[in-house]
Amino acid sequence: MTCKIVTIVGARPQFIKAAAVTREILRHPGQLEEVMVHTGQHYDPNMSQVFFDELEIPAPRYNLEVSGGGHGAMTGRMLEGIERILLDEKPDWVLIYGDTNSTLAGALAAAKLHIPVAHVEAGLRSFNMRMPEEINRILADRVSTLLLCPTAVAIDNLAREGVTQGVHNVGDVMYDVALHYSERARAGSRILQTLALREKNFALATCHRAENTDDPVRLEGIVSALAQIAADMPVVLPLHPRTRKLLQQFELEQHLAALTVVEPLAFLDMVALEQAARVILTDSGGVQKEAFFYRVPCITMRDETEWVETVELGWNHLAGADRVTILAAYTALGAGAAHTHCQPYGDGQAAGRMLALLQAAST
């Protein structure tokens, strides 16, 4: 009997995680069928057909084109659209990823229709309830039948909340992705030549989280620190359109003059830069982990992280969004911070384990 899965995604990082699972599904024709739904939550000009070609997966079957507006309005419109698709498709499972509004909408739509939910990256916690992502991941976990955890820490977080049924440590699907694409990016991308960069002689930075971009003090702390680091070595900043708009609004554009500012990059180009950088500065959860997988020191420009293992092992340094603390972390890296080499995120076979659990629970 074919196990039918509806996958709900809405942001570029979710597509990248889902690609590992989709490739595994395609290896089991007749046993597994996937219907991918893009809510449209995050518009990204680089998510063209080329993006899906690079990921080696089909484009989504549905695109709800829901973006913009407040959290409630956005989630409500997604909920309505996803419910309609689920009623038509009648899947055995709904598969959700991470912590976006798309994640929550998919979880609620499925739960109200009594369709079992499998949550990839279950059990992650920042312990900051002011983050909409924290609310989304807690609520998604509560209505999920299978909680597919990436680490032992995630298992422990759920146990403290009294959640122990259907909980599995499958490993981190992002490690599957890193292993699959690292060589392809190194061989196929020309981004270092295009930007005239030398390997291990530049910093790579990203900044997109609302907690940073919407606060002019935090945003200035970040970009002024990046500008100062640029006096030491080139700093490449793929700039999200929303971040660019807010830099203009807060009159902080002068700090960009010292940086190598580029448009959002194609997937393989970003992977190539991550591997080649001497240091990565980011507020992205995914980029923190990718830095760890590629053994590149990372400075996280947030006050907390869900990926505590990267900090405990010395590869990731929490610096907040203050110029002084970011520069202190950068100086500490230059002095040679201690790193521990171990892999708490599994063996790169997370996708296969997830699908085996879904199939077993469907029989």
Cα 243–chain centre separation: 17
**CB distance 300 to 199 below 8 Å:** no
CA 350 – CA 170 distance, rounded (Å):
5
> Which residue in the block uniquely carries the two structure tokens 């929550």?
104
Question: Would you put residue 56 in left (φ > 0), alpha (ψ -120 to 50) or beta?
Answer: left
Reading the block at residue 248, the tokens are 């203009």
Q: Is 119 a catalytic residue?
A: no
Reading the block at residue 77, the tokens are 């419109």
HEC profile for 313-342? CCCEEECCCCHHHHHHHHHHHHCCCCCCCC
Q: Which of 38, 42, 119, 208 is catalytic?
A: 208
Spell out the alpha helix ranges (H) of the chain: 12-26, 49-55, 71-89, 101-112, 132-142, 152-160, 173-188, 191-194, 210-213, 216-229, 241-249, 267-276, 285-293, 308-312, 323-334, 350-362
Half-sphere exposure in the Cβ direction for 358 (13 Å, CA): 34
The residues annotated as belonging to the active site are 208
